[in-house]
Amino acid sequence: MINKNLRPWKTISKEKILDHNYLLQVEKHVVELPDGKIISDWAWVEMPDAVIILAVTTEQEFVCFRQTRYAVAGTTLATAGGMIEENEDPIEAARRELLEETGYTSESWVNLGSYALDPNRGMATMYLYVALDATYDREPFADDLEDQELLLMSRSEIENALLAGEFKVLTSAAVVSLSLNYINSLEK
Q: What is the mean pLDDT of the chain?
A: 94
Same domain? For 26 and 101 the reply is no
Same domain? For 94 and 183 the reply is yes
3-state secondary structure 93-162: HHHHHHHHHHCEECCEEEEEEEEEEECCCEEEEEEEEEEEEEEECCCCCCCCCCCEEEEEECHHHHHHHH
Residue 4 clears pLDDT 90, i.e. is over it: no
- The answer to whether residue 62 is domain-embedded is yes
Same domain? For 73 and 16 the reply is no
CATH number of the domain residue 135 falls in:
3.90.79.10
> Tens digit of pLDDT for each residue in 144-161?
666 789 999 999 999 999
Quote the pTM value. Answer: 0.91
Q: Give residue 87's pLDDT band: very low, low, confident or very high (50, 70, 90).
A: very high
Same domain? For 158 and 107 the reply is yes
Between 57 and 6, residue with greater pLDDT: 57
Host domain of residue 38: 10-46
Helix, strand, coil fractions of the chain, as percent rounded to 5: 20, 50, 30
Q: Give residue 22's pLDDT band: very low, low, confident or very high (50, 70, 90).
A: confident
Mean of pLDDT values over 91-111: 97
- The answer to whether residue 178 is domain-embedded is yes
Same domain? For 95 and 141 the reply is yes
Run of H or E including 52: strand 50-57
Using only C-alpha atoms, what is the Rg of the chain? 19
Domain count of the fold of the chain: 2
- The answer to whether residue 66 is domain-embedded is yes
Same domain? For 76 and 23 the reply is no
Note the pLDDT of residue 146: 65
Same domain? For 26 and 112 the reply is no
Same domain? For 74 and 166 the reply is yes
Cα(58)–Cα(39) distance, rounded to whole angstroms?
A: 53
Same domain? For 147 and 103 the reply is yes
Note the pLDDT of residue 40: 96
- The answer to whether residue 164 is domain-embedded is yes
Mean of pLDDT values over 107-130: 96
Residue 187 clears pLDDT 90, i.e. is over it: no
Same domain? For 15 and 60 the reply is no
Cβ atoms of residues 132 and 99 within 8 Å: no
Residue 57 clears pLDDT 90, i.e. is over it: yes
- The answer to whether residue 4 is domain-embedded is no
- The answer to whether residue 72 is domain-embedded is yes
> Tens digit of pLDDT for each residue in 114-123?
999 998 999 9
Between 23 and 57, residue with greater pLDDT: 57
Percent of the chain with pLDDT over 90: 84
Burial bucket for residue 139 (CB in 10 Å: 0-12, 13-18, 19+): exposed
72 phi and psi, to 5 degrees? -120, 125
Same domain? For 35 and 110 the reply is no
Percent of the chain with pLDDT over 70: 96
- The answer to whether residue 39 is domain-embedded is yes
Cα(116)–Cα(118) distance, rounded to whole angstroms?
A: 5
Same domain? For 55 and 125 the reply is yes
- The answer to whether residue 19 is domain-embedded is yes
Q: Give residue 9's pLDDT band: very low, low, confident or very high (50, 70, 90).
A: very high
